[in-house]
Amino acid sequence: MSTTTSTFDLTAVREEGYRFTIRFDGTDLPPLVTDEPPPLGKNQGPNPARLLATALVNCLAASLLFALGKKGVTVKGLTATAHVELGRNEHNRMRVLGVKVNVTPTVAMESSAAAVDDAIEAFEDFCIVTQSVRAGLAVDVRVDPKTA
């Protein structure tokens, strides 16, 4: 087992209201605009709950694609959808209560059904985001107030 770790950084800068520009430090990636839906924001970008669902559905789709490729399965197309349930917890705080993901690969007719089944059985283990969320990943939060 490898003990190698890697890191990355990103920065969120408030533009106005609840709209933020997210910059992915050390990369040439374009910035991402996020916002909250009304009544808080103006819905000018995805909010954090949508980004969480995006991370889950994208990671699962990529993981299935990877697992199918490892089994020699030719993938002709792949679509993944997420259905997110939002609601209040026991403290009346809004939370993501659950995410249902459906991944639909289109595989070449000549693909082995056993290989497809093997990939489907194993793919979730490759998904960094899903497995981290399921395990309850550690989030260390620090607030450093400044005055202006």
Is CATH 3.30.300.20 what the domain over 47-135 is classified as, yes or no? Answer: yes
CA distance 5 to 21: 27
Domain parsing of the chain, residue ranges: 1-45, 47-135
- Respond yes or no on whether the N-terminal peptide bond of residue 39 is cis (omega within 30° of 0): yes
Q: Which residues of the chain have pLDDT under 70?
A: 1-2
Tell me 146's DSSP state.
-
pLDDT tens-digit readout, 97-115: 999 999 999 999 999 999 9
pLDDT value of position 2: 67
pLDDT value of position 147: 72
pLDDT value of position 87: 96
Q: What is the largest CA-CA distance in the chain?
A: 65
